[in-house]
Amino acid sequence: MDKKESLLQQKAEAEKEIYQLENQQKIILNKQRDLERRERNHRLILRGLDVESVFPFTINMTDEAVKAYLIALSRLPGASEITKKAQGTGDTG
C-alpha cells in the first residue's frame, strides 16, 4: 500500500504544480496583453498629436470629420505612392 499511496501523493503534487503553472501562465499573458494595450494607446496618442500639429484646425473637428478629411487626403493624386514609400522605410513606429 505504501507504493500506491506514494504514487497518489506524487500525482497530487504534480496536479498542484500544473495548477500553479497554469495560473502563472495566465498572469504572464495578462501582463503581456496589458503591455501591448499600453503601447498601442501610447502610439495612438502620439499619432493623434502628430495629426493635430500638422493640421491644427482638426482640433475643433468631430471624429467623423477628421476621418473623412484623412480619407480625402489619402485619395489625392500621388498619395498611394507616398504611402508605399512610407511603408517601405521599415519604420515600425
Is the pLDDT at 90 greater than 90, yes or no? no
pLDDT mean over 12-41 = 98
pLDDT mean over 42-70 = 96
Average pLDDT, the chain: 93
pLDDT mean over 64-92 = 87
Residue 93: its pLDDT value, please?
45
What's the Cα-to-Cα distance from 41 to each of 50, 59, 61, 64, rounded to whole Å? 14, 19, 21, 20
Residue 92: its pLDDT value, please?
54
Q: Which amino acid is at 69?
A: Y
Residue 69: its pLDDT value, please?
95
**C-alpha distance across the termini of the chain, in Å:** 64
Is the pLDDT at 1 greater than 70, yes or no? no
